Every structure is written in C-alpha cells, then in structure tokens.
Structure 1
C-alpha cells in the first residue's frame, strides 16, 4: 500500500503540468437549432452533440470549450442569437488531471494483477500495447486471425488490423463486416470496443456462429499519431498529425472523418486548416483514411455492414449526412440500427439514455466527407456511425466504465451481424 501511495504522489507531480494549456478553459452547454451549429462547428471545439429529441430544451445541445481569451466574445454571440448556455465545468485542466490519475492508478492495478501479459478492460492502452496485443493474437490463433500490417501513419507508426475468418477469407459466400475505431484521436473509449469484439470472436468465444458464418475486418487504431499525441501532449487532439498541407506549420493535422470522397470540398468551413473539422487538401490525402479505403475496396463485393466507432452520444447514425435525405434502403437502415440499439439498451446502465437511431443530418446536422456516407455511396448497404455512451462524464470516460461499454456494445454488434447475415442467407 505504501508503495502504491508513493507512486501515486509521484504521478500527481508528473501530470500536473501536462494540461496547462487548458488552464482556465471552461465547458458550456449551448442550445439551439441544428442549422445554427453547422458553421459554428468549424470555429469552436464541439466535444459532443445531443439531438433535440433527447434534451429538456427540445433543441440540439452542444458541449463546447471556451478559452479565457474567447469566452466573452462567444457568450455575447450566443446571447445575441438567443441561444441559451450553461456553464458545466470551470477549469478543464483539472478534469484532465483527475483523468490522468485515474488512468495511472488503473494501470498500476492491472499491471500488478496481470503482469502486463494480457489485455484487460479496466484501463486505456497506448498505441504500442494495442499493436503488441494484435501481434500476440495472430501468433496464438493463426487458424482464424490474419494480422495485416496495412501501412504507416504519417509519422511512421505501423497501422495494423485483423481479418477474422474460419475460412481464411476464401469462402466468397460469406458476408464481410468492417469495424473501425479511433479515427478521432481523443475518443479513447473507442479502441477498447474494437479490441473486445476481437477478443470475443477469437479468445472468449460465446457466439461461434459469428466467425463460422461471417468474415470480419477490424481496425482498432486508425489514427495512431493523433492518439499517441492525445495521450502524451494534448488530451483534446482530434485530427491526424500530418504536415503536408498548406498552413500545416501553424495548424497540422486533418479530420480523418471529413477526408473521405463523398461531397468532399463542398463545405467551405471544412477547408480551413485551422478548423477542427479540416477535411484535408484532397480526398484520402491521409494514409490513415487510405488504409480504411483499401481494406474495404479489397472485399467490397462482400462487405454488408460497416460501423465506425466514435464517442460519445448513444446513437446509431446513417446516411446521408450531407443533405438529410435517405438512401434507397433507408427503412432497412433504420430497422438494423434499431436492432443493434435495442440489444445494447437491454444491458445499459440505468443512468444511460436509450440509443437514438436515425439519419445523421436530421438527428444532428449536416456533415461531408464522412466514412459512413462514403461506404454507403460505394455500395455497402448498412453503414453507421456509432456514438458510444459518455454518462455524466461525457467525453472523459473513466476506466471503470470500459467493461460496461465494451460488453453492451458487443451485444449490439452480435445483433447487427446476425440480422445482416440472415438478410443475405435466406
């Protein structure tokens, strides 16, 4: 106990200075009509968005960050637009310091218990630990796991994904499901969801039909550069870390989920390199998004379900995000989305809201260049953005909630996979 206390005191000193850039930054919830937030997204840091159907105000509510320098200007703007706002956190740096301490305590606990030999669902793992875990699974279960060294990130980190199949992807009658996570660096709770899915398909198998009947492509760490930077330097970093575009000396990085070739370049607000939703200089300019593209196109004729995992908001969102119209199979997108949502809701915590299922633009607001819309546009019938729970912690989910989130989300994956398989095999 004394040793643990000593380590924690050292950690307090170590983490205190890391978040100084957010000293005095405050969090506000701002309410308004969805169209009022479309242009503001490029100018402010939206940490989450709640659809009007779930809020007491009956309007879209956005959680956003304001620095001391910009606070008065923006609060005056919201007042002039009659957009009500509420202060919900007075100092963002303190929130991040508390998160660091919880994460480090969880790491010490799991290291003592497991000797760093296996993945647990009690803490957040770094980029290298995640890759090492994928390596170990491929070595231990070569009959069903194929590890793909898909390519390098902009900074040269290896991006890996797994193909899981009882027939080594050679049975062309089987549908393929693709799951990716961590395209947005700061959404730490997303890689555990993908890793737990891999674990349940390969190690702790309770639903053997999922591998017998379906082939899987799972990419747990799309954006290792940004994720690593978020863990070590800037907790709110969202984009990639590329510096190949004009203006990158001042504003590096691209929003990977605006970099896909679907209505790319049609939204002026996404053309600003300093915007948090900067789409990049060209579609698929980022090596990270090209890896998703290539993995999907290689098996496009068999891919039936695609889910990109994000945090947070308890939502399954589908196309079209750029204009609010529905694809030709809009009804079935709703049905499959509800099937997954209901499976999750059966296991949710009492304090968690029910999942919302719907068109992305109608539930929230317009977006362009997303992986969800691009995958639907190239012919994958069922494509979704999955927004995980945040509870009262919103975008900073403590490690003690990881097990709950991965377990309930797995139930949603199972329900969606079985439904899609039944559609194409009856």
Structure 2
C-alpha cells in the first residue's frame, strides 16, 4: 500500500508539475483592427484569431494568454487602445491537467483493445513513426516510408508516399499534405494519419489511390511536438538554437520560415516572438523537408494543404499583401468545395468554414508555406485551420474522431476536384 501511494504521488507530481508554469494564466478574447492584432504577435502568445466576419465586434478577435505578472499591464493597454476584452478561461493549467487525464485514460483503453492506433487519443513522435513503418510493411505495393532527414535535435522525420504506380506514372497529379508544423496543434497529426488510413487501410475511395499520388508528412516538427508533450504544452516553434538570442528564446516558427517575402515583417524578426521567422529562409531542417518534397514533385503537384489548428478556415494566397494570385477564383472554388464537404458532417456547435484570402480574412503574414508553394507553381495551396470548438488547441481526445472524419470528407472532395481538372 505504501509503495502504491508513492507511485501515485510520483505520477501526480509529473502530471501537475509539468503545467505549473501556466498556473493562474488566463485566456482573454481581444478585439481590434487586423493591424493591431498583428502587432500583438511580437509581444504576446496569441493562440488564434477570429475573422471579423465571424466576430460580434466587427473586428478581428484574438485569443490571448496572459500570465498573472503581465495581466494588469496588458489589460490597461487594451483599454487605452479601445480594444474590447473579455475573459474566456480562468486557469490554463487546470484545463491542461484535464486534457492530460483524458488522454491517458484513452491511451490505456486503446492498448487494452490491441489496436496499434485509435482516433480518440494522441500519440508521440516515436509511436507515429512506428505506425508508418507498420503500414509500409503491411502494404508494400502501395505505401513507401521515406526517411527524409533529421530534425535539429536529431529526430527522424518520416513521410509516406502512397501510389499504385510507385510514383513512376508521371501523368498522375500529386497531392502533398503536412501536419504539426506548429508543435502545440496536436489534432493535426491524427488528421494526417487518418487520411493515410482511409487511402490505404480502409481503401475508402479507390479512384483517389488509382488516380493520384500522395505525399503526407504527419509530423513535420517532431522536436517542438515532443517538447509540447513532455515540457510545455503551449510550445509552438521548432527547438533550434542556431540564431542570436537562441539561449533565451530557442526555436523558429516553421510557418514563417519559407522563402516568400521572408524578412519583410519586423515583428517576425524578433527571436522571442512566437512568429519568429528564423535567421534565414529555410534555416530549419524541418522546413527544408517540406520544401524538398514540394520541389521534387513540383511538375505534378496540384494541391498542397498544411494542416493547422484552430479556426475552421481554408486560407489561400497572398497572405503578405491581400492581393489574389492569377487563379484566385479557382482557389476559392476549390476551397469552397472542400469546406462544404466538411460542413455537411460537422457538429451543430461548429462554426461553418470560412474560405478566403489569408490577409483579408485575418491579417498580413510572410514566409508561409501556403504562399511559397503557390509562388513556386503549385496551383492549389491552403492553410487549413481545423476546428477547436470551445477548447482551442486543447481539443479533448473524444473529439478527434469527429475532426478526422469530417476533414477526410473535405480532403476527398478536394482530391476529386483535382482529378476533374487535371
């Protein structure tokens, strides 16, 4: 009995101690112009932004995390700048502890069932890579696992190629999907894995495997992702330390590190900002994996989607200035096609998906994968912001199956659109 008590105390200490840094941190919804909200990214942890078309205030609304030490200062700032603010959550650490308890419970249930993976929990980097290897071993004529390279901290970045012709039929279009560029967006790898599962295991739509070659990167930022699991649930960036001030402020925002108007946003040049763009374009090995995948298949790639969380949005170029690419109408039409398929399966409480130009829907951004892929020649490129409901990044595991199922419907609709126009 004494040993059991000690073990329980150790487990509770690990669970509760890991989230101590967010004890008393509160979440606030702040409304302002797109310019004002964009400025906050240099100094605060902005969890997400809500488009003005969806907000009651008529302005862009940001979900902001404030520590007890900075709360008074920033509430005064919001008031002085006529930015309406309301409290959303009282203690972030308590929310995290609840999330962790549910995940552990569901993982135990999944192991007891004998399943290698399930759609009601979250998995770490090693488990995700093991699942990819299992699929390649079981379906060698369809799945190839590529060991693309090592992350900054030496973790293997793997992706899958799904093809009935081993990528040798150059007449087929290619679809590229990545996930977890932002570490704390845990719901994105399950979506990527579910897409793989539907194409390979479930064989849900043979037309999509016969007619299209797929490249899917389920975990683009393994260092940041593992750090968010083991140390800091709210970690967003990579874990690199190859830039000035990296001892105090490690990591780079992978979705500001692409070579499209990189270096033109002053806020993104601050190493301590959550949107830090890095010391140079493509400085991050994780981002170079995505770059190389796209360039290797550039002549055939018709659709690129980067999975993010959260906000229920399909965002397209150009994010740096609000103008549209030459195929802007087609980008919008294809995005609406995917969004409509998702909305048909969505929960009643979910916001309908918004489809639009990233800068006009939210605010200006530079160095994104969405804009870079469009600039180098991929016709259809999107940032797909998945649902967070009222939970934001901390999506309870019981919602994972709903999100992966509805998102697959959207991806499948997009894939059929590609085939119809190829």
Residue 45 of structure 2 is matched in structure 1 by 45
1:329-368 to 2 correspondences below 5 Å: 329-368=327-366
Deviates most, 55-64 or 147-156: 55-64
Residue 95 of structure 1 is matched in structure 2 by 95
Shift of 1:186: 0.2
User: What are structure 2's unaligned runs of at least 5 residues?
Assistant: none
What CA distance in whole angstroms lies between the structure 2 residues aligned with 1:108 and 1:317?
A: 37
Deviates most, 300-309 or 49-58: 49-58
Residue 271 of structure 1 is matched in structure 2 by 269
1:61-110 Cα distance to aligned partner (Å, 9 max, x none): 11010111111111111001110000111111111111111111111111
TM-score by length of 1: 0.96
1:12-23 to 2 correspondences below 5 Å: 12-23=12-23
Shift of 1:14: 2.9
Shift of 1:58: 1.8
Residue 111 of structure 2 is matched in structure 1 by 111
1:251-400 to 2 correspondences below 5 Å: 251-400=249-398
Residue 132 of structure 1 is matched in structure 2 by 130
1:198-209 to 2 correspondences below 5 Å: 198-209=196-207
DSSP-derived class of the 2:414 partner: helix
What CA distance in whole angstroms lies between the structure 2 residues aligned with 1:287 and 1:235?
A: 22
What CA distance in whole angstroms lies between the structure 2 residues aligned with 1:287 and 1:104?
A: 31
What CA distance in whole angstroms lies between the structure 2 residues aligned with 1:24 and 1:345?
A: 36
Q: What is the aligned residue count?
A: 419
What CA distance in whole angstroms lies between the structure 1 residues aligned with 2:412 and 2:204?
A: 11
Q: How big is the alpha-carbon RMSD for the aligned residues of Structure 1 and Structure 2?
A: 1.5
What CA distance in whole angstroms lies between the structure 1 residues aligned with 2:322 and 2:62?
A: 19
DSSP-derived class of the 2:53 partner: helix
What CA distance in whole angstroms lies between the structure 2 residues aligned with 1:61 and 1:35?
A: 12
Q: Note if contact 1:12-1:101 (Cα within 8 Å) is conserved in structure 2.
A: no
TM-score by length of 2: 0.97
Residue 410 of structure 1 is matched in structure 2 by 408
What CA distance in whole angstroms lies between the structure 2 residues aligned with 1:317 and 1:222?
A: 20
Deviates most, 104-113 or 313-322: 104-113
1:306-333 Cα distance to aligned partner (Å, 9 max, x none): 0000000000000000000000000000
User: What are structure 1's unaligned runs of at least 5 residues?
Assistant: none
1:178-257 to 2 correspondences below 5 Å: 178-257=176-255
Distance 1:102 1:312, change over 3 A: same
1:138-177 to 2 correspondences below 5 Å: 138-177=136-175
What CA distance in whole angstroms lies between the structure 1 residues aligned with 2:39 and 2:31?
A: 15
